């Protein structure tokens, strides 16, 4: 049973009315498919909810779905996801023990009519805040020991607007307001590695941060 509230009003920018009042991850995944908490649902193929071990000690949080994730309805299956899979393997992290999600559950994009492509566009702080209730519900239900935030959008969703990847990455720290000792570690988003001129160096940094996460558990 979904919660009550001002449903279907884009100006509200709040997913809270769409969260179920009870139930675990399956109930939340089903409810999220009907979320209209911000305008991003209008153009996206569908909601891309988290996936993985519901009792995972380690959770990865990215920014938002990409084009391929939007089409398949699964996080981290596109080019950035393939790079992340390789980095996790090099860091010695078994993906079957993870829970993986995004701070924003709908794909935001612009259209390149010349190439007939959908081009990723970063979600705004308002859109990220609107979607935050889903992320917080996932954190509550999975209750991981450590969260790895991938990139600035995910970092700001959990650590506040002052978060900066360049200065705040690579060191586990307490999650603000967490009462269960949950910690968070920041690193770059795999898509930033794909765009980087110094791709090899940035990829090595991502792997190093993931190894730090594995050692912290």
| Cα 49 to Cα 34, 130, 140, 199, 216, distances in angstroms | 11, 15, 15, 29, 26
**Domain containing residue 179: CATH number:** 3.40.470.10
Q: Are 150 and 191 in contact (CB under 8 A)?
A: no
* Total structural domains within the chain: 1
183-187 and 173-174 beta bridge pairing:
antiparallel
Asked if residues 29 and 51 have their Cβ atoms less than 8 Å apart, the reply is no
Range of the domain at 162: 50-216
Whether 26 is in a domain gets the answer no
Domain assignment of residue 25, yes or no: no
The Cα–Cα gap between 17 and 45 comes to 21
CB-based contacts of 41, cutoff 8 Å, min separation 6: 35, 47, 106
Quote the tokens at residue 66. Answer: 């990409």
Strand blocks (E) in the chain: 51-52, 58-62, 98-102, 109-112, 117-120, 146-150, 173-174, 183-187
In a domain, 7, yes or no: no
Q: What is the dihedral of CA 136, 142, 144, 148, to 10 degrees?
A: -60
CA distance 85 to 7: 37
Please tell me the predicted confidence (pLDDT) of residue 141: 97
In a domain, 144, yes or no: yes
Q: In terms of C-beta density within 10 A (0-12 exposed, 13-18 middle, 19 or more buried), how is residue 90 classed?
A: middle
Res 177: pLDDT: 83
Residue 124 falls within a domain, yes or no?
yes
Q: What is the pTM of this model?
A: 0.92
pLDDT of 11 reads: 59
Q: How many other β-carbons are positioned within 10 Å of the β-carbon of residue 210?
A: 24
pLDDT of 116 reads 77
Residues forming beta bridges with residue 101, ordered by sequence position: 61
Per-residue pLDDT in tens (0 to 9) along the chain, 217 residues: 344 344 545 457 999 999 999 999 999 999 999 999 999 999 999 999 999 999 999 999 999 999 999 999 999 999 999 999 999 999 999 999 999 999 999 999 998 877 778 888 999 999 999 999 999 999 999 999 999 999 999 999 999 999 999 889 999 999 988 878 899 999 999 999 999 999 999 999 999 999 999 999 9
What confidence score (pLDDT) does residue 143 get? Answer: 96
Is residue 83 situated within a structural domain?
Answer: yes
Query: CA angle, corner 12, sides to 7 and 15, nearest 5?
Result: 60
Structure token pair of residue 19: 């969260």
| Dihedral sign for Cα atoms in the order 175, 75, 11, 27 | negative
Determine the pLDDT at residue 154. Answer: 97
């Amino acid at each position: 049973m979904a919660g009550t509230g001002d449903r279907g009003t884009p100006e509200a920018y709040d997913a809270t009315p769409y969260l179920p009042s009870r139930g675990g991850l399956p109930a939340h995944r089903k409810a999220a498919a009907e979320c209209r908490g911000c305008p991003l649902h209008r153009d996206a193929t569908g909601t891309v909810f988290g996936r993985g071990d519901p009792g995972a000690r380690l959770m990865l949080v990215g920014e938002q779905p990409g084009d391929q994730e939007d089409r398949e309805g699964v996080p981290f299956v596109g080019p950035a996801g393939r790079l992340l899979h390789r980095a996790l393997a090099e860091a010695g992290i078994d993906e079957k023990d993870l829970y993986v999600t995004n701070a924003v559950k709908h794909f935001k994009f612009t259209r390149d009519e010349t190439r007939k492509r959908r081009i990723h566009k970063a979600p705004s702080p308002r859109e990220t805040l609107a979607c935050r209730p889903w992320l917080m519900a996932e954190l509550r239900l999975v209750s991981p020991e450590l969260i790895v935030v991938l990139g600035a959008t995910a970092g700001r969703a959990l650590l506040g607007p002052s978060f900066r990847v360049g200065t705040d990455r690579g060191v586990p720290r307490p999650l603000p307001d967490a009462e269960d000792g949950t910690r968070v570690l920041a690193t770059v988003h795999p898509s930033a590695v794909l765009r980087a001129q110094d791709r090899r160096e940035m990829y090595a940094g991502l792997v190093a941060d993931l190894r730090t996460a594995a050692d912290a558990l």
